[in-house]
Amino acid sequence: MENIKKIVNLLIELAGAKTAPRTGWQRIGIKSPESLADHAALSGQIAYILAAMEGANSDHAAALAMLCDTAQLRAGDQNWVNRIYSDYENEKERAQNDQLDGLPVAGRVKNIFDEIKECKTKEAIVAKDADFLDMVIQAKYYIANGNKKAGLWIESVKNVFRTDSAKEIFESLKNADIEDWWMDLGPIKKKFE
C-alpha cells in the first residue's frame, strides 16, 4: 500500500503541471503562457515522430521528452535570466531525487532523468530536439497573436538542433504560418481557388 501511495502522490504532483506556467514566455510579455503539461505533451508527440524519422525508438524518445521537465514542479520553471542567478542544475537534480525518494519505479525514472541530462543516446538527442521544436511552434503561435519578441527566441535556437530531421523541420517552421495546416485541407483549399 505504501508503494501505491508514493505513486499516487507523484501522479497528483505531475497533474500540477497543468497549471504551472512556462515562465520564459512571461519574460517577453505573454500573459497566459502554455503550461508545463502543455509543453510536455507536445514535446512527447514531436519526439515520437522525430524518432521515427531518425530511426530511433519512438516510445523511449517520447517518454524522455514527456518526463524531462518534471523537476520544474519543485525547482520552478526558471527562464534563462533566472538561471544566471541560481544554481538551477543542482536544484533540479535535488528536486528529481526528492520526487523519486521511495518510489517503486524510481530506478526507471532516474534512468530517464540521467539519460536526458547526459544527452548521449539517439533518443535523448531526439527528445532534446523535440523540446526545442515545441518551443519554436509555441513561439509561432505567440507571434501570430501579436508578440513579436517571440521571434527573437526562434532566431536564438537556430543552431541547437542535432538531428537532420529536426534541422529540416526547423527550417520549414520558420516560414510556416499557424493557419497553414487547415488552409491546406482539400475542401477549404477549393473554396479559395
Domains of the chain by range and CATH?
A: 2-191 (1.10.3210.10)
- 3-class state of residue 31 by DSSP: coil
12-23 pLDDT tens trace: 989 999 998 888
Q: Please, are residues 16 and 73 in contact by the beta-carbon 8 Å criterion?
A: yes
Q: Measured in whole angstroms, how far is the alpha carbon of residue 84 from the centre of its chain?
A: 21
Q: How far apart are CA 155 and CA 153, in angstroms?
A: 5
pTM beyond 0.75: yes
Confidence class for position 75, pLDDT limits 50, 70, 90: confident
Q: How far apart are CA 61 and CA 191, in angstroms?
A: 40
| Whether the predicted pLDDT of 1 surpasses 70 | no
Q: How far apart are CA 73 and CA 184, in angstroms?
A: 38
Report pLDDT for 114. 93
Q: Please, are residues 73 and 63 in contact by the beta-carbon 8 Å criterion?
A: no
| Whether the predicted pLDDT of 173 surpasses 90 | yes
Average pLDDT score over residue span 131-143: 96
